[in-house]
Each structure stands twice: as C-alpha cells, then as structure tokens.
Amino acid sequence: MKLRNLLLVVLNVGVFAQFSQCEEIISERFMNGKVFYHVKNNSKDFITDSFGDDVTIKWFNQTLDHFSPSDTRTWLQRYYVNDAFYKPGGPIFLMIGGEGEATQKWMTAGAWINYAKHLNALCFQVEHRFYGKSKPTDDLSVKNLRFLSSEQALADLATFTVAMKEQYNFTTNKWVAFGGSYPGSLAAWYRMKYPHLVDVAVSTSAPLIAQLDFKEYLGVVVDSLNQKSPKCVGEISKAVKSMEGLLKRRTGWWMIKKSFKLCDDFDGTNAKDIASFFETVAGNFMDIVQYNEDNRGFEGSKTANITIDTLCNIMTTNLEEKTAFERYADVNDLMLSVFDKNCTDFKYSKTVDDMQKEKWDSPSASGERQWTYQTCTEFGFYQSSDLDGQPFGTEFPVKFSTRQCQDVYGIQFDENFISSAIRWTNANYGGKKLKVSKVIFVNGSIDPWHKLGITSQNETSSDNVVIFIEGTAHCANMYPDSSNDLPQLRAARMSISIIEGIGITRGRLIHGKYFGPVNETSTLPKGINDERIEIGWISQPLDHFNKHDNRTWNQKFATNNTFFRAGGPACIVIGGESPMDPRWIVFGQMVNYCQQLNGVIYMLEHRFYGESTPTPDATVESLKYLTVGQALEDLAKFIKYVKSNEIHEVILFGGSYAGTLAAYFRQKFPNFSHISLASSGPIQWKYDFKEYMEVVGTVLKQYGSCYDIVKSGMEEMENIISSAKNESKPVNDFLSPLTLCEDLYAKNTRDVSNFYASISSVFSYYVQYNVDHSAQLSVREICEYATNARSNRSQSNFQILANLINLMNKNMDEECIEVSNDDFCNFISQTSWEDDAVKYGARVWNWQVCNELGAFQTTNSNKQPFVGVTTQLYVNQCQCAFGKKFTEKYIQNAVRGHNLIYGEFKVPRYRVIYTNGVNDPWSKLGVLSLQQIHQISTTTSSPNGNCVILIKGH
C-alpha cells in the first residue's frame, strides 16, 4: 500500500547567483558574505524561451507595492517551469530565488530535481524582485529600492502561488518551498507568514537572526582552517602582522602594492583603503571556506576546484624560500589568475562610485548594490574583524561597513538607522524563536552562516526538523551528488528525503513491515542530528564465508558516548530491515538502561539497508550476499572492533527482525556478548504465516462488533467481485464509496488478490503499530467509527467497511487502495540504490522473505475476517522480482532450511530476554513462555538464565 504521508522529501534551492548557458562569468567578487558574478550577458529581457520541451521561462504580472492598495503599478517577474516529471496530484516544488540571477541550470540539476523525479513534482523557480531580469523599476535609485525588501519578496511568492493554483487548478496539491542562504530564510519565513499557501519549507544555510556585527563569521573561518591545518592559521597571522608593519612606512606601501598587484597606488594613511584592502585579501579565504568542496562547478564558478586545502598548502609550504607575507600574496595571485585579472581592485572610492551607479547596466547591478541595500535596511550581517584572536587583523571593523551604507545610499543610513532596522527584522520574523512548523533547517559546520541559523533540535519546535552536517559548507546538500561527497553529506541528502512529519513521499506496508519514511507520529523526537551522535564506518568482508573473496565494503554505525564511564558496557542496537535511524541511541528506554550502566551506545546498520551498501546495486547477483548468516558475521566483527576500544561487556538490543538477530547471535557467538534483549523477534519462521491475520482479528474482537462488521463487509465485497467475473468493465463503480488507485477487473485474479492484500494491510498496519502510536488513529477509534455507523442502520456492512478504509487511508494521507499487481512487481523489481524500493528497503526485505524467511501473511485461516490472500500471490511476486526459480517449493525449502540452521525454539540460547506484546501479530512467531525454549534456569538471576516478558494489550 502506498502511504503518501505528508513527509518531506526535499531539498534544494538555487544558490544565490546562477547563470544560464548564454552568460559567461568574467569575474567574481566576494562581498558581505556573498559571491557576486560579473557576466558577459548575451540574453535579452522579456523573452519567453524554452530549454527543450520541459523547461520554460515565463513572466508573471506582479504587484509593485503589496502594502499600498492604492498603488496599482505592476511589473514582470521572471520564473521558470519544469513539468517533465509531473503527474496529476503530484506536489509542487517552489524554488525561491535570492540575491542573484535565477537560471535554467537549476531547473535540470541538483538534489531537488532527483526528488522531483521520484515524487512526480512540478518545479517552479521564481526570481527575486530587483535581481536578474526581474526589474520592478526603471533604475536602482534609493527612491526605487524602497520596494526591495524581504516582506515584499514574500508577498510576491504569495501572489505567485495563488495565481498558479488558479491557473493550473492545483486544488489539492501539496506545496514545498525551497531556499538556500537568504532564500533559505525566505523559505522559513514564507511558511511562517503564509502557512495556508505552503505546506512545507526547507531552509538551508539560512541566517535567521539579523545582526549588525557578524564578527563570529571569521571565528568559523578560523575553526574550519584549523580543522584542515592548524599551521595555516598561524602563517596567516604572521602574514597579516607583516602587512600591518608595512603600513608604517612608504616603502612598505610600495611593497604591498607590488606583492598584491594592486590596481592603484596604496596610501597607508587612508583608513578606508586600508580597510578595503585587508577585507579583500581576507575575503580570499572567506570565500573558499564558505563554499569549500561544494559541488558548484556545474553553475560555472571558476573557484569550485579551489578548496581550504589549496590555500593552506600555499600558506604552509616553501617556508624556507618564502615569507608568510609572500605566501599570502601567492594566494591572492591564485585568485587573480582564476579570473584572468591583472590586478587587485581595492580602492574604496572606486567601490563606492560603482555601487552608487543606479542604472541596470552598471556592473554593481548584478547584485552588489541591491544586496548591500538589503543589509543596510534589514539585516546587517557585516563580517567584521572585531573578533578577538582571529588572524586577519583588525583593520575592517563593523564601522567600516556601516559607513559604506552612508557613502552609497545617503547620510541617513547611519549605524542607528541600520540597528533600528535590524531590531525590526528580528521582531517581525522572530530570529531563532520564530513560531513555525513543518520546516527543515539544514546547516553545515564549515559554513560560517550556521552561526545565525538553527543547528540543534533544542532550538526549535519538535514540529520542525534540524539537520547539522559536520564537515560541509554553504548549501552543500543542495548541489548535485559527487563521488567525492562525504558520507555524512550523503546521509543528510537521504535523511532529507525521508524526514518524518513534513513532506511528501511514498511508503509501502509489505509482509508486515513498513518501507518508506518514518511515520509522522513517531514517539521519537524528530530530527536525526544530535550533537551526541557520531557517525562512523567499519570495513566488512563482502562474503564472510569465502576466504578467497577479498572484496570489502563500508558498513555504517552510530555512536553515543555521552554516558560512558570506564568499565561501562557497550550497548549495541542491531539494525534491521530499514535504513538506520540514529535517534534510537539518543532517545528511548534502551538509552535509559545504558545510561544507568554508564555504557557507550552503538547502532550498527544492517548490510544492504540505508547507506550500508556492499554492492553497486540490488540485483539478484548482488543480493546473494544478503543472508542472516552474513549479518551475524558483520555483527561479530563489529563487536571485535568495539572490544578493541577497551570495552569488556556487550549488551545487544534488537526489535522485530533485529530481535531475531539478537537472539540468534547469543546462539552462534555466545562468547561475544553478555546478554541480548530480543523484542518482538520471530524465532520460528513459517512459509504460510496465517496466524498473523488471526491476531489482527483477535484485536478487532476486543472492540464490540468491529470484527463482525469487517468480516461481513469483506464477504459482501467478495460477492460483488465474484459476481462480476464475466464482466468486461471494471468493478470500481460497484465498490463505491471505496476509492481504488486503478481499474479493477474481476477476472484478473492477481489484481484481485493484490487488492485484497492491500485492504488487509491497512488493518494490519493499525493493529501492529497501535500501542506505539505509529498510527495516528488507534484501533479503538477505528472500531468506534464502525460500530457507531452500524447503529445508525443506514449503511450496509460493506459501505461501513469502505468508508472505514477511506478514513484510515486519509489518516495516512493516502488517496486510494492499490490494485495493480504489475505495478507492485515493477516497484519491487527496481535495482538502483536511488530507487525508492531499494532505498527504503522494500526490495531488500522481499529478498529476505523470498529467499530465507517466508512469513507470508495470508487469509487462509477461518479465524480472521479477511479474504482472498493466498501464498500464491506472494510466490508470484517473488518470481517477478527475483526470477522463476522462486517457486512455492523453493521458498518452503528455504524457510525449512533456515529453521534447521537456527533451531527455532529447540536450540539453547542463554541470557536472552524475550519480550512480546500479545496484540502484536509477530508474537505468534516469537517466544511467549519459558516452556517453549531450552533453558538452564527460569530466572534472570541465574548467570545462564533466560527471561520471557509477555505484555498484555500490546
């Protein structure tokens, strides 16, 4: 069943200045924390153009002043559309433009395009007023720039959204706003100010606090340089001190001019020129740190291949041949050569002259004049040299930037004016305390802008999600993937695609397991990024049982050592049939246990799930390395690694299939761990797990006539379908008010069986996850609806059942019941790690079920209310996904062989705590009493004892 939980997938927004194929970047300037490109522009204004059949430039008639009803002037705002992936009902992605030109390149590349492909989204990109070709006024005079503000920009987005909803008839589609850097701020503020227009916002590298003196910026630059090369910072400090010494004499001025290839004579008595020069050469490092190793080369950036390592290598090599001052100048030479420039512009008066130009064809109209105006009237954000201890000198204090506001825009733009504007911005939007929901805040540790953003879940509501990526820079997660991406960056991109509670993606309930994003009502706090979590990787053999196979792969694990004290144990959470969720080592009862024991907590991701990908794909040839035996060997090797860190005792925790592994491990490797907690773990696997639906039926019987209503309704439904077997038309109308995703023909037995399986899966989902609140509706509420409807006597049992199914689907943001068996087969036949079936584990778990475990939830028992689901449905699906050899006999033998190896209840496993809930359907395959298992003792006080805990009502 598709579970269209409003679960955010996301992310990406066009980073600031972006340029199309008809523009050539001829220079780049780093100013006020932003890169501004000067381009050779061959394009024309106000032309509707197409880039292939899918991407089109269009123009929207926008209001000039949204806050003055009497002002009816309008202007043309540029936007892009890409409908290549869109299917009716899909989400609408709105990329918010920022302080630079919006371009076509972001309409066909970047992480958000990958998400759009998977989600069938329509993509808009809206250019920000006063940037690029979106020119609301005749010029950039101060009189006209009063119409440039974040509030006007947000109102532009609102007006645009309303218009597009009407134009395209987007009545029920979910809208997701994307933004990076300043547009990231706009994305969060848009969701806050206009929550009725946008369902989700993704706020990447977004400064949320306006601040006059952003001196902390250089602090992050220094920290980032230190991480790469502590010696680098010291050499910069030496160079700057030499420069400061050279200011004291005219020969020093000449040396500075010559060494740094200045375009004009240097006057060591001109404070503004000194400040401009020191800021310019410091900007060489600020620029590279902010965008370090971002995959922005596809935009055309000429500095994309220059990294922190590049600059620090220059500063820390040739120490005998060159002084630190000379090496600092060499860094400047590198930056000049990248843009084929002969000299360094530093003259303050020239900068001001350029910035004062008001015409659209002036160089500063590429963004400098506009963005600086916004800093002077809303944000500040001035990266000053006022921070103690940083190596770039003290020559460009905040007053240098505030004075520039006056010199460029007028004397009234003094520090008091700017400070007052900043106070209003923070009062208007709330800074980090903004009252907003359904926003993902993403930041990187190397990006200096993270200091003004939300980087911890503690800073915002649990209705939002915080992702903080160690080792990455500005908007890193937004760019296209690269083979050089850090593992944590890849993990962040994936976690963004499955973040719970906000967004749109698909999941499926298959063989009693949910595959897809975590359910939005999970009891765990939202957000996987916690300062207590460290991500690591361990090299594992591909095949533990073939010593001649030397191939290896990297398995992901997470660590929380917050509570660890010498002598404490290692508490290992075993990963199961889904991507690893590191929150399990931060929150929950297991964490409480381990805290009391002063233990270190680990979580090991299961091979072939999440990012633990041993092979290039998930073809049958690759999946042969996915077995329970291989997984146990992985765990054994990981425990050896853990014990090498002076850990003596190991406690294992596992739930569901991972609970099975926890019990099996004590059997196969009794000397590797001290005890296992196996929660809801099947021990005796079955080919035909008909008892699963029996438990579902038993739970329904606990609520009045609920069971009878469902059973009678299913029988009526079966009669409706059976009576139409000779019909040439679909039976959808006869099944009204039940909503089906596709046409159902009664003579198509596989589709009919798949349809029945989809219905029983809905009920089993609510029963299986009832007590842990993964489902928003409880079984009690579902059954109350059914019994109340029956008491009215105005509907048949089938109609009550149909309405009940629609209610449960709506609760999961699901529109219809799946019918097509072919569609399901196509889904689980996907083999790329980027495909949803593989990424979320559906194909991988199906392989384990078909190849080893069985556990097909059929309706073969007369002690349950559902119909029409036999083992043959699952055998057919195994064959379509993995090949014809997966016959009924093959799968039966596989399950029999598995039970033979691991012994079901007959094999001694010492010091295992088995916990199960009576109302959990999987309990029927688990240990429910000590009498079922071979034991030495019936109490946990015995050193070899086992314990069984059976929880009623769960």
606 is catalytic: no
Q: Distance of CA 26 to CAs 29, 95, 336, Å?
A: 10, 26, 12
CB of 864 closer than 8 Å to CB of 696: yes
45 is catalytic: no
> What whole-number distance in Å separates Cα of residue 94 and Cα of residue 168?
14
Give the angle subtended at the CA of 103 by the CAs of 98 and 104, to the nearest 5°: 140
> What whole-number distance in Å separates Cα of residue 730 and Cα of residue 594?
57
287, 447, 485, 920: the catalytic one is 447
Q: Distance of CA 949 to CAs 127, 496, 656, 670, 954, Å?
A: 60, 37, 15, 22, 12
Strands in 534-592 per DSSP E = 534-541, 552-560, 570-574
38, 128, 450, 474: the catalytic one is 474
Of 186, 20, 42, the closest CA to residue 107 belongs to 20
Q: HEC string of 845-902?
A: HHHHHHHHHCCECCCCCCCCCCCCCCHHHHHHHHHHHHCCCCCHHHHHHHHHHHHHHH
- Residue 584 main-chain phi, psi, to 5 deg: -65, -15
Identify residue 133 by its one-letter amino acid code: K
474 is catalytic: yes
CB of 807 closer than 8 Å to CB of 813: no
**737 preceded by a cis bond (ω within 30 of 0):** yes
CB of 790 closer than 8 Å to CB of 804: no
> What whole-number distance in Å separates Cα of residue 745 and Cα of residue 725?
8
| DSSP H/E element including 380 | strand 380-382
CB of 8 closer than 8 Å to CB of 187: no
User: What is the 8-class DSSP label of residue 378?
Assistant: I
The full DSSP string for 677-738 is EEES--SS--SB-THHHHHHHHHHHTSTTHHHHHHHHHHHHHHHHHTTTT-SS-SGGGGTTS
User: What is the 8-class DSSP label of residue 340?
Assistant: T
- Residue 577 main-chain phi, psi, to 5 deg: -90, 45
CB of 634 closer than 8 Å to CB of 556: no
CB of 440 closer than 8 Å to CB of 192: no
> Which strands make up the sheet holding 675-679, listed edge to edge?
534-541, 552-560, 600-604, 570-574, 650-655, 675-679, 912-917, 947-951
> What whole-number distance in Å separates Cα of residue 90 and Cα of residue 504?
9
20, 134, 150, 181: the catalytic one is 181
> What whole-number distance in Å separates Cα of residue 782 and Cα of residue 803?
11
Give the angle subtended at the CA of 214 by the CAs of 213 and 220, to the nearest 5°: 150
Strands in 64-185 per DSSP E = 74-82, 92-96, 122-126, 175-180
3-state secondary structure at position 123: strand
> What whole-number distance in Å separates Cα of residue 336 and Cα of residue 460?
43
Beta strands 650-655 and 947-951, pairing class: unpaired
3-state secondary structure at position 675: strand
CB of 263 closer than 8 Å to CB of 345: yes
Beta strands 34-41 and 23-31, pairing class: antiparallel
Please give the structure tokens belonging to residue 796: 């048949």
- The alpha carbon of 512 is separated from its chain's Cα centroid by a whole number of angstroms, namely 26
| Residues forming the active site | 181, 447, 474
